[in-house]
Amino acid sequence: MANVRVRFAPSPTGHLHIGGARTALFNWLFARHQGGEFILRIEDTDVERSKEEYTQAILVGLKWLGLDWDGELYYQSKRLDLYRAAVERLLAEGKAYYCSCSQEELDAMRGEALKAGRKPRYDGRCRERRDHPADRPKVVRFKSTDVGMTVVDDLIQGTVTFDNSELDDLILVRSDGSFTYNFCCVVDDHDLGITDVIRGGDHLNNTPRQLQLYQAFGWEAPEFIHMGLLRNQDKSKISKRKNPTSLDWYREKGYLPEALLNFLGLMGYSMPEGREVFSFDDMVREFSWDRVTTGGPVFDLEKLAWLNGEYMRAMPAADFARRARAAGVVPPEFDEAKFLAAAPMFQERVKTFSELPEHMAYFLGELPYEPGDLLPKKKDQPIHDAAATREILLGVERCLKTAAEWTAPAMEDSMRTFCETCGWKTRDLFMTLRVAITGRTVSTPL
């Protein structure tokens, strides 16, 4: 068996999609598990939509996740001569042809097919045509096989059969001279020695066209592995209307890359013994396609937040403090030693770094609050009035002034003893103290 060589091939027409990050992860995991190579190829042949800023966002995102690639970084825009040579070969061998059909002709074909209850497809009228009008733009089409079946043996989806009569003659080169996706990726995957194509299930319908191109060139096709697409809670395809889809959003919101990778590793995959928290090394060591499900996993943002919180609580306080400052959420005036001392309290409360400013605020200054928040309540009705609450707070002040030591256990014991003497319940006193000290009804542990 050839050494495993996989690729992740994003298009820089937008920021890296969270589903794309998952595809990159599973390519990377398979390559590392097999001791193979993970190749990165930027598919930037769409000149109008491809932008350098998106390319850089993709590279930054992959590096942030720790998904390193092997060898050089490939750009399709720098491989145009390779595509031209491949097209010329197909033309010379009679496996591709020029098509000068106007848009009006194509629209008429579509209309006739729909009227007859057929699937719209190009009817091949230019296959033998030689008299192309000089003033009409031309495309290059592939002479696809229109009889029989094309069978895709997919490692996850199983055997999928496509009727060749429904596959029309694929455009290889557009009228502006640019090359199409299905054509370029076949030429690239062969040239780069890709052994396994791992991608989202939305590409499954492209596969029979690509297999026919492999056959036309006389090349051995790679193994195909199509993963289920991420879904919203309502089982619809994940979209930015219902879930944040850009990887940048998760980085900016203060999620940890290792937690996000763990979460993406759970999407349509199960670890031995059903473990939900596991490391990068665990994923590589235990990886198996047998554990990947065929369906589309549900993307649960609440579960990601829970998982991120688990990682934050497990982190040494010094690492938490360092990474919080690196995330840009800790103001410079927050003394480094004091922030480090408070870090364990923050770790108990926050699930992402973006939540830190709210919990740090009372460490940096006195916060305003509604006086009524000081009054302990039951079913939204005060249990004690303002005068009684004021006396209790003065009593707490006296108690703390005479405390033998200022440690959390000692002060908690002192407050519990105080409650026994004054007749207040501890939960009521602690809520009043929380508001008095922090200005918040929810805060880090007292």
Active site residues: 240
Distance in angstroms (rounded) separating the CA atoms of residues 147 and 144: 9
Q: Kindly give, in sequence order, each residue whose CB lies less than 8 Å from that of residue 348, ignoring residues fewer than 6 positions away.
A: 313, 444, 445
Sheet-wide strand order for 196-200: 158-163, 149-154, 223-227, 196-200
Q: How far is CA 290 from CA 46, 87, 153, 212, in A?
A: 36, 38, 15, 28
DSSP 280: H
Residues with Cβ within 8 Å of residue 131, at least 6 apart in sequence: none
How far is it, in rounded angstroms, from Cα 365 to Cα 158?
62
* 23: alpha, beta or left? (left if phi > 0; alpha if psi -120 to 50): alpha
Hey, CA dihedral for 28, 30, 34, 37, is it positive or negative? negative
DSSP 402: T
Nearest-10 Cα torsion for 183, 185, 191, 195: -130
Within 10 angstroms of residue 1's Cβ, the number of other Cβ atoms is: 5
**Which of 384, 396, 305 lies closest to 350 in space, CA to CA?**
305
Non-local CB neighbours of 173 within 8 Å, separated by 6+ positions: 87, 139, 140, 179, 180, 183
Closest CA relative to residue 33, chosen from 291, 281, 287: 287
Phi, psi angle pair for 352, to nearest 5°: -140, 160
Rg value, the chain, Cα: 31
CB 132 within 8 A of CB 138: yes
Burial 237-251 (b: 16+ CB within 10 A, else e): ebeeeebebbbeebb
Long-range contacts of 74-78 (CB under 8 A, 24+ apart): 74/39, 74/40, 74/41, 74/42, 74/188, 74/192, 75/41, 75/42, 75/44, 76/41, 76/42, 76/43, 76/44, 76/45, 76/179, 76/184, 76/188, 77/42, 77/44, 77/45, 77/47, 77/50
